[in-house]
Structure 1
Amino acid sequence: MKNISIEIPSLPDNIRIVESFVDNAKEKYALTDDLYGNIMIAVVESVNNAIVHGNKANKEKTVSLQAIMNEANIQFVISDQGPGFDSNDLPDPTAPENIENPGGRGIFLMKHLADEVSFSNEGRTVELTFYLD
């Protein structure tokens, strides 16, 4: 199956483009509603992190999003042009001292919704893998 990809300027309003991209992936790859729901939340969260934290909402920088499908899974690869971060050095959002924090749950959410989450390129790229059952 053909991969699909887009590149968007780092503006929070562009999240709706990402939602349309996931909608298109649902149609193209005939994804189940449950899988689609998990993908939508995880991918939107990831792109939002790339825009806000990675590229600091600098519209001169872009976020790329790619969907790759094979027989066993669908993978979404999200990359930003920011300085990167250490994905092993994140506070636990479920720790008592962090429960009241308004942010810090994005990666936690992604890890619970996707079957596999991996970071590369010094944290500038995240791969979200969802198994097809």
Structure 2
Amino acid sequence: MNDLHTNLTFPSDPKNVSKVEPFVHDVATRYNLPPEKHGDILVSLTEAVTNAVLHGNQGDCNKHVSISLSRKSDALAISVSDEGPGFDPGAVPDPTSPEHIECCGGRGLFLMRHLSDECRFKRGGRTVEMHFKL
């Protein structure tokens, strides 16, 4: 299989998070993704985009969120970038630890890390890159 690539960029408006589900559905169909991976990809990408809009760009509609996706024969790579100041993902507490179990926040990163096969941050926390084995 040849490498397949697609991109999507949109203003950082919370309403635009709704673009993720049809985007994932379209990608799953066009790239013939295994059905059992669809949910993990959808939840991970929705969390990454929500974080980029709300935390990275702080809802500033003059800033943009970009999704880049590529598929090779055995893996799917997705990156989500924002134009915000970045953050230190290591400073986000584990939401499953007893002292943070009832706190709001941090669950999106937890989900991305656990639903993808690899999750790493680049550009000072302004880009998250997730890999899914197919």
Instruction: Map 1:96-111; keep pairs closer than 5 Å.
Output: 96-111=98-113
Instruction: Map 1:75-86; keep pairs closer than 5 Å.
Output: 75-86=77-88
Q: Secondary structure at the match of 1:50?
A: helix
Gap regions ≥5 residues in structure 2: none
Letter in 2 for 1:26: A
Indicate the residue corresponding to 2:127 in structure 1.
125
Instruction: Please report how far the alpha carbon of residue 31 of structure 1 lies from its aligned counterpart in structure 2 after TM superposition.
Output: 1.1
Letter in 2 for 1:125: T
Contact 2:24–2:41 under 8 Å retained in 1: yes
Instruction: Please report how far the alpha carbon of residue 102 of structure 1 lies from its aligned counterpart in structure 2 after TM superposition.
Output: 2.5
Q: Secondary structure at the match of 1:98?
A: coil
Contact 2:12–2:62 under 8 Å retained in 1: yes
Indicate the residue corresponding to 1:112 in structure 2.
114
Instruction: Please report how far the alpha carbon of residue 127 of structure 1 lies from its aligned counterpart in structure 2 after TM superposition.
Output: 0.4
TM-score normalised according to structure 1 size:
0.95
Count residues with an aligned counterpart.
132
Distance in structure 1 (CA, Å) of the matches to 2:114 and 2:26: 23
Deviation sequence 1:33-72 (CA, Å, 0-9, x none): 2101100000000000000000001000000001111112
Residue 91 (1) aligns with residue 72 (2): no
Distance in structure 2 (CA, Å) of the matches to 1:16 and 1:87: 25
Indicate the residue corresponding to 1:59 in structure 2.
61
Letter in 2 for 1:117: C
Task: Name the % identity.
Answer: 42
Q: Which runs of 4+ in 1 moved over 3 A?
A: none
Letter in 1 for 2:21: E
Instruction: Please report how far the alpha carbon of residue 90 of structure 1 lies from its aligned counterpart in structure 2 after TM superposition.
Output: 1.4
Instruction: Please report how far the alpha carbon of residue 17 of structure 1 lies from its aligned counterpart in structure 2 after TM superposition.
Output: 1.0
Distance in structure 2 (CA, Å) of the matches to 1:32 and 1:72: 11
Alignment RMSD (CA, Å): 0.9
Contact 2:4–2:31 under 8 Å retained in 1: no
Contact 2:7–2:66 under 8 Å retained in 1: yes
